[in-house]
Each structure stands twice: as C-alpha cells, then as structure tokens.
Amino acid sequence: MKLEDIQTCFQDHIIRHDHQMDDAFKALYKQDDITLDQRFSIYRDNIIGGLSAILMEIFPTINALTGKDFTNTLLRAYIRHNLPQSGCLDEYGGGLPDFIDTYNPAASVPYLSDIARFDWALSACEHSLDDAPLTPQDMATFQTNIPEYLPLRTSCFLFSSPYPLPDIKSFAANPDDLPPPKLDDNPAHLLIYRPALKAEYLKLTDIEFFFLTRLHHSLPLMEAVEDTLRYAPSFDFAKTLQNFTMRGVFRKAEI
C-alpha cells in the first residue's frame, strides 16, 4: 500500500469504528491476543477524547446548559465529520455552531448554536494576532486629516442574535443565583474585543451595531457615517468614535 492509502485507512478506522478494514491494511499489523479492532479502539478513545476535551474548553456554555452526556455525544458527532485541518488546535471548532444548526437532538434548544458562536468568538478573540490600536492621540489628527477607512482590530468580532446571549451565558454559569433569562423579544448585539490579554464582550445599541458593522465590512468611514445617520438621525459620531477609541476597538489606520 502507498503511504497515502495507509494514512487514509488509519484515519478512517480511528474516526469510524464501523468502517470495513481493508485486508491489505490489516496485513500490515501483527495479530496477537489483542485484536486489531481493540488496538484501534484505544487510539480512537485517545484521539476523540482529546479533541472533545479541547472543544469543551472552547465551548464551556454548551456543557453548562445541556450537561456532560449531551455535550460529549454532540462533540463526538462533530469530530467524526470535522477533523482538525491545522496543527494549531486553537483554530479548531469554528464549524461547530453551524453543525449544531443541523444536529437534530439540539433542535429543542434553539439558541444553542448562537451560544456556541458566542463562545467561539471569545476564544478566537483571545488567540487573534495583536495589532496597534488607534489611540486618543491619533484622533487629534482627525480635525485636519480624516482617514478614508477606520478598520476594527483583527481581534474584534461582531454578531447579533435574537436571544440574550450574555444573560444565557451568565445563567448557565450561575443557575442557583440568577433567574432564567427572558428569551422572547430580547435580542443581543455584541462586540467581542480584547482590550488587554483577555477577551471581553460589550452589549451594543442597534445604532452602534449598525455603524461598527459597516466599518467591519470595509466601507469608507464617511460612507459608514452617512449610512448610520440615515438609519438613525440621532447618531452621535464624535461620541461613538471617542467611546470605542478609548476601548481600543479601532486599528491604527494609515492617514
């Protein structure tokens, strides 16, 4: 067998215990009192168990909401169809929220995929590359030379959900101390950012979310301002700029 074929067979048998073992592949291994299936079972438990433990760390709220048994079953189903594509396991798991959307046992928890997106954004934010923030001193030049673009830092994530994700996450972590969150008519517009070493989140107004989303989609700064003023004539650009600059949300732009 070619090395590529051996690697493919090995992967298939590790991930899928019901996969039919090729005779040529089986002949590569010495048979003894411990069967080949039993030996592969050890590899399988170690690999899937290790990947599950990594995903548990990245998505703690899923486990807190649904329990260890459900979470383990969900994660193992995801792993069987989505192996890591990079040697950096900090990047593993980004597809889990979309997988949850198609996972029938999770249908009774309609906010679970969005909670997974929230957890993933917090993790991805912490592991994002660092870049130089726009500072209040940089803003002084805006009076004479406004930049064409005002990008968000690479560690920033924006997303919206019809569910109150921060309240759900807090309740999952402290169910004995907090009341169940109100799910109906209680959407969340969120900015996940990293002012220092640890990722944080900020609840946004719909106007702030509208404006930052346009910057995030690489619209020119003044076009984003004009769009937001049409959306909400009460939009205060100067106050918004100062607020998010103080939080270190914008990336230093070329003037």
Name the pairing type of β-strands 188-193 and 200-203.
antiparallel
pTM: 0.84
Specify the pLDDT at position 111.
Answer: 96
b/e 191-219 (16+ beta carbons within 10 angstroms → b): bbbbeeeebebbebeebbbbbbbbbeeeb
Specify the pLDDT at position 19.
Answer: 58
Give the phi and the psi of residue 221 in degrees, each rounded to 5.
Answer: -55, -50
Owner of token pair 């609840």 = 203
Specify the pLDDT at position 90.
Answer: 77
Specify the pLDDT at position 81.
Answer: 86
Specify the pLDDT at position 136.
Answer: 85
b/e 84-116 (16+ beta carbons within 10 angstroms → b): eeeeeeeebbbebbebbeebeebeeeebbbbbb
Give the residues of the chain that fall short of pLDDT 50: 255
State the Cα–Cα distance between residues 205 and 186, nearest whole angstrom: 12
